[in-house]
Amino acid sequence: MNAPPTSRSFSFGLQTRILLSYAIGGLAISLLLAGATLTFTRQQLVDDREASAAAIAVNNASRLSNQLTPESTIEDVPGIIDSLTRIEGAQTIVRLNDSWLPGTEIGFADLPLPLVDQVSEGKPGQMRSSIEERPYLTIGIPLVAFEADYFEVVDLSDVDSTLDNLQIIIVGAATVTTILGALIGLWASRRTLRPLRRVGEAAAAIAGGNLDTRLDEQHDPDLDVLTESFNEMVRALEDRIQRDARFASDVSHELRSPLMTLTSSVAVLEARRHELSERSRTALDLLSIDLSRFSRLVEDLLEISRFDGGVASLENSSIKIHSLVSATLRTHHVDSSVLVELTPISDLYVHGDKRRLGRALSNLLTNGIQYGGGITSVSISAEDDSVEIAVEDAGPGVSESERAEIFDRFSRGSSAGRRGDDTGSGLGLSMVREDIRLHGGQVWVEGRLDGKSGARFVIQLPMAEGLGSEQ
């Protein structure tokens, strides 16, 4: 498997932040409007109810005062009260001299004492209070012509019920508004981030080697600037890479002629090796080794220039993995006993270029033989819809900090200083990565599965659909 990604602190994505902004904004506006509406409505309902009750109470107190006589007793009051205007949910309490006429459910003891004291001093007033956990409005009016007081107790439960219903409606409306805000935020975020997704997809395609990728015109004055700048940047990058690739290709081609001359000259010297002194033969051996390495470097540079120029092509065919691996092992004189099949499927096929895949596997084997202390195992396995080929060696292994850089060009890792007799070009692993990338696969290095010292290079390729004729 790939190396685990580095941990980072959790944060919401841009689309989530836009969606939450709309949702929270809708909720905040809804709560603000709901609070204002509920406050003003409560005040309006209570004020209207109090004003209406006060007007009726004053009228009733006046009519009661007009119908009372100095000879009237508390027993005469109920008959007069029956003729007064009634308020729904209201009860009347009257004091005449030292006697009290209670309401149908409320008596003198339920009246708010501060209001009773105020009215007894000849001052009218009103006060809200709670009787048995129900809200009431009490209006007190002194009857100055007599030793009497008039109290109207109005039940405000219907007002509270109306406000409770209104609160439920407002909360429901706030919920709907929040959901609507979130949906609008989702739509707006998708529409806003769509150009950025296109840029991301284009950047990913360019990173994958498709340098001809361009962004389409957005028909938006704000986004067209981004599109033009991005396309111009890609064009400049493509031109630079193509120039570098042409330069490497031209240099490599120019070096081929003198290399052929040098190779022919060294061949002549090798033919007359017996005529040379011991010192001259040593110099000839060093020259032959360096010339061989130089020739491979030129060939590798030519191949790298094809990768960079985007002209590397595949000659695809159906390839049986077991046959490819076995043939490559024989080429490198590696004992076939190191080959292990970790899957019950004996016939695993991939669709690709046999020459390039063989070269990639050969480079891994060469790397393990020359720098990894020898090959310990080569395994073939099937993972979901892909085939994995793993090459394990007995070397010092590759530290986690070098596992990504080791596939860079001319990278030799921390063991570079120990390779005094190294005849490699330093491009082998980078060419493995390029060849596997052309096949839509990936390659990585990890530690050996048995925990012993060494490296495990893994090639992962898409599995071919069904079987085909091997070429």
- Residues 290 and 348 occupy one common structural domain: no
What CATH number did the domain enclosing 407 receive?
3.30.565.10
Residues 351 and 274 grouped into a single domain: no
pLDDT number for residue 437: 87
120-144 pLDDT tens trace: 888 999 888 888 888 888 889 998 8
pLDDT at residue 271 greater than cutoff 60: yes
Task: Look at the chain and report how many structural domains it folds into.
Answer: 3
Supply the pLDDT for residue 412.
Answer: 64
Q: Is residue 470 part of a domain?
A: no
Distance CA 3, CA 5 (A): 6
Q: What is the mean pLDDT of residues 156-162?
A: 80
> Residue 129 pairs with which residues in a beta bridge?
136
Residues 282 and 150 in one domain: no
For position 4, what pLDDT does the model report? 43
- Within-domain flag for 449: yes
Looking at residue 19, what is its pLDDT?
78
Question: Considering the chain, what is the average pLDDT of its residues?
Answer: 81
Alpha-carbon span 72 to 349, nearest angstrom: 117
Which residues, including other chains, have CB under 8 Å from residue 381's CB and lie 6 or more apart? 341, 342, 343, 387, 388, 390
Q: The CATH number of the domain where 141 resides is what?
A: 3.30.450.20
Q: Assess contact for 427 and 410: CB atoms under 8 A.
A: yes
Least trusted range by pLDDT, from 7-16, 382-391, 397-406: 7-16
In this model, does residue 415 exceed pLDDT 70? no
Identify whether residues 76 and 150 lie together within a single domain: yes
Whether 349 is in a domain gets the answer: yes
String of b and e for 260-278 (b: at least 16 CB within 10 Å)? Answer: eebeeeeeebeeeeeeeee
In a domain? residue 169:
no
Residue 413 predicted with pLDDT over 70: no
> Do residues 31 and 158 both lie within one domain?
yes
Whether 420 and 329 share a structural domain: yes
Q: Are residues 228 and 340 in the same domain?
A: no
Q: Give me the domain span that covers residue 45.
A: 17-163
Evaluate whether residue 407 is within a structural domain.
Answer: yes
DSSP state letters, 142-189: EETTTTEEEEEEEE-HHHHHHHHHHHHHHHHHHHHHHHHHHHHHHHHH
Task: Return the residue matching tokens 């805000």.
Answer: 181
Q: Which two tokens stand for residue 418?
A: 């120990």
Strand (E) or helix (H) holding 54:
helix 14-67
Residues 358 and 442 in one domain: yes
Residues 330 and 227 both lie in one domain: no
Domain presence at residue 59: yes
Do 327 and 432 reside in the same domain of the chain?
yes
pLDDT of 443 reads 92
The pLDDT tens digits of the residues spanning 424-468 come to 567 888 888 888 988 889 999 999 988 889 999 999 999 886 544
